[in-house]
Amino acid sequence: MSLRVLIVDDEPLARGRLRALLEAEPDVAIIGACDDGREALQIVRQDSPDVIFLDVRMPEMDGFAFLESLPAESRPLVIIVTGHKKYAAQAFEVHAVDFLLKPFDRERLRMTLRRARERIQTARQSEIHKALSAMRQRFTSSPEVVDRISIKSNGRILFLKLDEIDWIGAADNYAEFHTGQSTHLLLSTLTALEARLPTARFVRISRCAIINASRVKELRLDRPGRCTVVLHGGTELVVSSAYRRTLDQLLRK
pLDDT tens profile 102-147: 888 899 999 999 999 888 888 777 666 666 666 556 555 544 556 7
**How many structural domains does the chain have?**
2
Q: Are residues 47 and 96 in the same domain?
A: yes
State the DSSP H helix or E strand holding residue 35, giving kind and residue range, or none if neither.
none
Whichever domain contains 185, its CATH number is 2.40.50.1020
Q: Are residues 121 and 83 in the same domain?
A: yes
State the DSSP H helix or E strand holding residue 6, giving kind and residue range, or none if neither.
strand 3-8
Q: Are residues 118 and 8 in the same domain?
A: yes
pLDDT of residue 129: 62
Q: Are residues 191 and 223 in the same domain?
A: yes
Residue-level length of the chain = 253
Q: Are residues 121 and 155 in the same domain?
A: no
Q: Are residues 76 and 187 in the same domain?
A: no
**138 belongs to a structural domain:** no
Q: Are residues 113 and 164 in the same domain?
A: no
Whichever domain contains 53, its CATH number is 3.40.50.2300
**219 belongs to a structural domain:** yes
pLDDT tens profile 74-94: 688 888 888 877 777 776 667
Buried b (16+ CB within 10 A) or exposed e, 6-44: bbbbbbeebbeebbebbeebeebebebbbbbbeebbebb
Burial class of 243 by CB neighbour count within 10 A (0 to 12, 13 to 18, 19+):
middle
For residue 215, the enclosing domain spans 143-252
pLDDT of residue 143: 47
Q: Are residues 192 and 89 in the same domain?
A: no
CB contact at 8 A, 228 and 222: yes
Q: Are residues 21 and 114 in the same domain?
A: yes
**132 belongs to a structural domain:** no
pLDDT of residue 172: 81
Task: Please give the mean pLDDT across all residues of the chain.
Answer: 82
**22 belongs to a structural domain:** yes
pLDDT of residue 179: 93
How far, in Å, CA of 177 to CA of 166, rounded?
8
How far, in Å, CA of 196 to CA of 135, rounded?
13
Average pLDDT over residues 31-43: 86
CB contact at 8 A, 79 and 101: no
**135 belongs to a structural domain:** no
**137 belongs to a structural domain:** no
Q: Are residues 111 and 10 in the same domain?
A: yes
How far, in Å, CA of 124 to CA of 130, rounded?
10
